[in-house]
Every structure is written in structure tokens, then in C-alpha cells.
């Protein structure tokens, strides 16, 4: 019997009839279902009844065969952070906007659940980043990121000076509004919005993408993911932001960080019909000629 955990966003609850059909499918197939407590409360309010389940997930201490993340890519990232190094594969069901991580359409929900029950799916291993402040500084939260680590100016117009080393070799000092260090998975997220390259999610690379660099000859750089990146951030402002998959913290200027590949991966469930190239075509509308009449 499969033990499935359901995670989602309180602010974005899938249409009630689809949710009910999903839980009815779980029950029909004899799947053991555990639901994140916060999401369960939102579901109950939306459905007006108690959905079928075997228990609630109230902490980060849980054991599952598969996790379902219902929402957008942000919900998927939060689910991945909850799972951490438990090696539980995650299926992303899109209830958001673009959705590169959550590429299962709501209309394919029942078929996706059937495939899970039949073990008819593949699992991709996605690399993460680990961020370690040097010296006495500490992160208050989870210091791993599936998409990216971003160093960002905070509340002034002054740019950052980001002294960057690859291993022991000095690379450059980015004079910019910030710097994004992205995984291949994150190459279609924040990094893409600042003209970073798209990288296949299963390759062993990282990309450094400056944000609004104050020099036209500074461009995104792709490096092997076994490199260790060291940065020291200076600014006319007294502080700057460090964001890991959107979770941000404030640090004083002058702090040094080490960014490296994490010692574990996030496992992402993909249906056999869903490839990275099909996702690019669907999400970015590649191959569609806007000159042609509909």
C-alpha cells in the first residue's frame, strides 16, 4: 500500500470538486493518506466536509512513500524544504501560474494518481545548493535551496559589490543590484528573469547570473556544480538580503558566504509522457507561430 502525503497552500486551494475526486480516488485505490495540518484545515473549509485521510502531518517528523504538492512552484519549494533529506519523491500538481516544477495539469490529476498506484512513473534527482555563512553569522532557517541562492540589495538604490571566488581562484567583483546562484532546476526561475540560460535539470552545472550589473561586459556564467563559490558582500548600505528559494534574511555588509552543492538531492516524480522539452514548449510556448491565425 502506498503511503501518500498531501501538501498545499492555504491561500490557493484547488477547485473543490477536483479535490474531492482526488481523495475519492485515494480511497478507491486503498492508498494511505496523510495531509499537512494547515492544508487540511483549508481543505475542510473549502469542501465543507472532512476529506478522506488516515492522519495529519503536524511536524517535519514523518515517513511517506510519496508526497503530493498541490499549488504553484512556491508550494513545491516549501514542500521540498519540509521533506529535506528524507528522500521522499515529490509529485507537483499545478494550481499556480507558470509551473515548471508543478507540471501536472489539474485535468490529469486522476490519471496521475492511477500512475502512482501502478508505479508507472520516473524519478529525477535534482541538485540543491547549501549556503554557509563564514564566522559567527548563522542562518535562522533551512540553509538549502532547490532553485537558487540570491544576494540582493535591500532598501537603498546603492549597488552591491560582490567579491566572488570559484574555489581559490578570484572570478570578479560584481557591481550589481545582486547575484543569483542557481541550480539547473532554478535556471527557469529567478535566473531566467535576468536573462540567465536555461539548463536541463539533470545536468551537473550551476549558473551565476548578476542582477542589473553596472557593466555591459558582465554576463551569466555556467560552472560545474562541484565548484565551491565564495562571496563577500559590501555595500554603502549597512545590510543586504540573502534569499534561498524566496526565504529571505538580512545580513550586515562584509559577511562572507560559501555556496556549494548540497550532500543530498530532491527527488521529483515525472510521468513518462512529461519531458523537459515538452514542459518548455507548453510553458514558454516554443514552436508557436504568433503570425498564424488561430
Residue 39 contacts residue 131 (beta carbons within 8 Å): no
253 burial (CB, 10 Å; 0-12 / 13-18 / 19+) is middle
Q: Which residues contact 91 (CB under 8 A, 6 or more apart)?
A: 66, 67, 68, 69, 104, 112, 116, 121, 269
- Longest pairwise C-alpha distance within the chain: 61
- Residue 136's pLDDT is 60
- Residue 96's pLDDT is 61
Going by their DSSP bridges, the two strands 239-244 and 148-152 should be labelled as: antiparallel
**Mind listing the pLDDT tens digit for each residue in 140-193?**
788 999 999 999 998 777 899 999 999 999 999 999 999 999 999 999 999 999
- pTM confidence score: 0.90
- Residue 153's pLDDT is 93
Q: Which residue positions in the chain have pLDDT lower than 70?
A: 1, 11-17, 96-98, 136, 289-294
- Residue 142's pLDDT is 87
Residue 206 contacts residue 231 (beta carbons within 8 Å): no
| Residue 108 designated active-site | no
- φ/ψ of 150, rounded to 5, equals -120, 130
List the 239-244 sheet strands across, edge first.
221-224, 205-211, 178-182, 148-152, 239-244, 247-252
86 burial (CB, 10 Å; 0-12 / 13-18 / 19+) is middle
Phi-psi region of 117 (alpha: psi -120 to 50; beta: other; left: phi over 0): alpha
- Residue 242's pLDDT is 95
Residues 73, 115, 177, 245: which is the catalytic one?
73
**Selection from 103, 98, 100, 184 nearest residue 148 by Cα:** 184
Amino acid at each position: 500500500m502506498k503511503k501518500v502525503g498531501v501538501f498545499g497552500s492555504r491561500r490557493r486551494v484547488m477547485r473543490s470538486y477536483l479535490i474531492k475526486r482526488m481523495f475519492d480516488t485515494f480511497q478507491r485505490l486503498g492508498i494511505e493518506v496523510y495531509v499537512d495540518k494547515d492544508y487540511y484545515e483549508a481543505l475542510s473549509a473549502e469542501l465543507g466536509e472532512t476529506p478522506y485521510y488516515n492522519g495529519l502531518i503536524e511536524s517535519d517528523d514523518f515517513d511517506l512513500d510519496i508526497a503530493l504538492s498541490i499549488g504553484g512552484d512556491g508550494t513545491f519549494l516549501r514542500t521540498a524544504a519540509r521533506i529535506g533529506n528524507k528522500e521522499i519523491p515529490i509529485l507537483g500538481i499545478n494550481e499556480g501560474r507558470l509551473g515548471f516544477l508543478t507540471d501536472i495539469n489539474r485535468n490529469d490529476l486522476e490519471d496521475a494518481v492511477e500512475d502512482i498506484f501502478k508505479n508507472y512513473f520516473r524519478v529525477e534527482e535534482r541538485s540543491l545548493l547549501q549556503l554557509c555563512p563564514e564566522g559567527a553569522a548563522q542562518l535562522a532557517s533551512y540553509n538549502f535551496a532547490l532553485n537558487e541562492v540570491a544576494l540582493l540589495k535591500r532598501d537603498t538604490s546603492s549597488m552591491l559589490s560582490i567579491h566572488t571566488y570559484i574555489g581559490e581562484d578570484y572570478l570578479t567583483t560584481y557591481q550589481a543590484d545582486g547575484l543569483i546562484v542557481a541550480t539547473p532546476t532554478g535556471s527557469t526561475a529567478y535566473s531566467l528573469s535576468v536573462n540567465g540560460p536555461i539548463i536541463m535539470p539533470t545536468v551537473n552545472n550551476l549558473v551565476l547570473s548578476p542582477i542589473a550589473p553596472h557593466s555591459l561586459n558582465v554576463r551569466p556564467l555556467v560552472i560545474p556544480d562541484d565548484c565551491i563559490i565564495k562571496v563577500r558582500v559590501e555595500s554603502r548600505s549597512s545590510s543586504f538580503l540573502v534569499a534561498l528559494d524566496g526565504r529571505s534574511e538580512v545580513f550586515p555588509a562584509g559577511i562572507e558566504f560559501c555556496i556549494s552543492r548540497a550532500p543530498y538531492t530532491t527527488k521529483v516524480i515525472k510521468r513518462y509522457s512529461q519531458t523537459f522539452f515538452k514542459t518548455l514548449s507548453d510553458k514558454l510556448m516554443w514552436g508557436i507561430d504568433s503570425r498564424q491565425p488561430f
